Chains A and B, each alone.
Chain A
Amino acid sequence: MSEKKIKKVFIEGAISPSCIADSIAKHSTKKDIGAHSIFLGQVRNDVINDKEVKAIEYTAYNEMAEEKFHEIRETAFEKYSLTCMHIYHSLGRVNSGEISLFVFTSSKHRKDAMEVCSYIVNRIKEEAPVWGKEIFEDESYIWKQNTP
């Protein structure tokens, strides 16, 4: 329990592909895993009023978000047959084309890994106190709104 509690979710800036690759590689020692499911959220260059989104800058209510991530993690372990899970979310500026959310679930069989991954992503979008500011090329911005 306490090991899960100290897991760090927030990463300053984009989540690098090499960090994702390392995370996958680390699981080769866990030989009871038969399925991994991965969700990667990438910053999209939406065009709003003729201006293209260049980056998203994320801020969070850190203290509350850490509690929420912990709660989501605990519930996921209760509801699904999971071997392990990892959640990483960016804070600060992430350019379009870069990764800002990485959810990685592993279980014996694919059904649990896939379902829980989707469950976690949905809960993060709905419940984590994180806000994204969409920044355009001229540095003007609007506050992002999540699609349901």
Chain B
Amino acid sequence: MKMKILAFGIIADITGKSEWTIENIQHTDELKKHLENLFPRLKNMKYAIAVNLLITNGNFELTDGTTVALMPPFSGG
């Protein structure tokens, strides 16, 4: 089971990359834990998670081939 991770804004600075693949993570809570272990600075960050372009609310199941985006607060305009 593979998923594509996209990171934006300050999150991409923290992770040091804007796109990568991960495997065998079942849901968004597990993903958050996994990322926060790798990148402790994320623990204090406010960010939204979008799965296949939709912003998730609460824990969300991940399936093969999904695209998960890590999005800090927007600052367009």
The A-B contact count (CB < 8 A) is 64
Q: How many residues of B contact A (CB 8 A)?
A: 15
Check A127 for interface membership: any CB of B closer than 8 A: yes
Are A143 and B75 interface neighbours, CB within 8 A? yes
Within A31-86, the residues touching B (CB, 8 Å) are 41, 58-61, 63-64, 67
The residues of B that contact A59 with a CB separation of less than 8 Å are 8-9
Which one of B6, B9, B53 lies within 8 Å of A131 (CB-CB)?
B9
CA distance A129 to B73 in the complex (A): 8
Check A125 for interface membership: any CB of B closer than 8 A: yes
The residues of B that contact A64 with a CB separation of less than 8 Å are 50, 53, 69
Closest A residue to B18 by beta carbon equals A59
Closest B residue to A127 by beta carbon equals B74
Interface residues of chain A, those whose CB is within 8 Å of chain B, are: 41, 58-61, 63-64, 67, 89, 100-101, 121, 124-133, 143-146
